[in-house]
Amino acid sequence: MSWIDEVKWDAQGLVPVIAQEAASNDVLMFAWMDREALLKTVESGRAVYFSRSRQKLWFKGEESGHVQLVHEVRLDCDNDVVLLKVTQQGHDPSIACHTGRHSCFFQLYRDGAWQSVEPVLKNPESIYSSANKP
Query: Residue ranges for the binding site?
Result: 76-78, 80, 97, 104
Q: Kindly give, in sequence order, each residue whose CB lies less than 8 Å from that of residue 12, ignoring residues fewer than 6 positions away.
A: 52
Feature table: binding site for Mg(2+): 76, 78, 80
Q: Please classify residue 21 by burial: count the beta carbons closer than 10 Å to its beta carbon, then call 0-12 exposed, 13-18 middle and 19+ buried.
A: buried
Distance CA 127, CA 122 (A): 7
Q: With binding defined as CB under 8 A, does residue 72 bind a copy of itself?
A: yes
Among 9, 59, 105, 128, binds a copy of itself (CB under 8 A): 105
Q: Kindly give, in sequence order, each residue whose CB lies less than 8 Å from that of residue 115, ignoring residues fewer than 6 positions away.
A: 107, 108, 109
Looking at residue 101, its amino acid is R
Q: With binding defined as CB under 8 A, does residue 11 bind a copy of itself?
A: no
Among 8, 13, 30, 87, binds a copy of itself (CB under 8 A): 30
Query: Least CB distance from residue 114 to a copy of itself, whole Å?
Result: 5
In the complex, the residues that contact a copy of itself under the rule CB under 8 A are 2-3, 6, 16, 18, 20, 24-27, 29-30, 42, 72-79, 81, 83, 97-99, 101, 104-109, 112-114
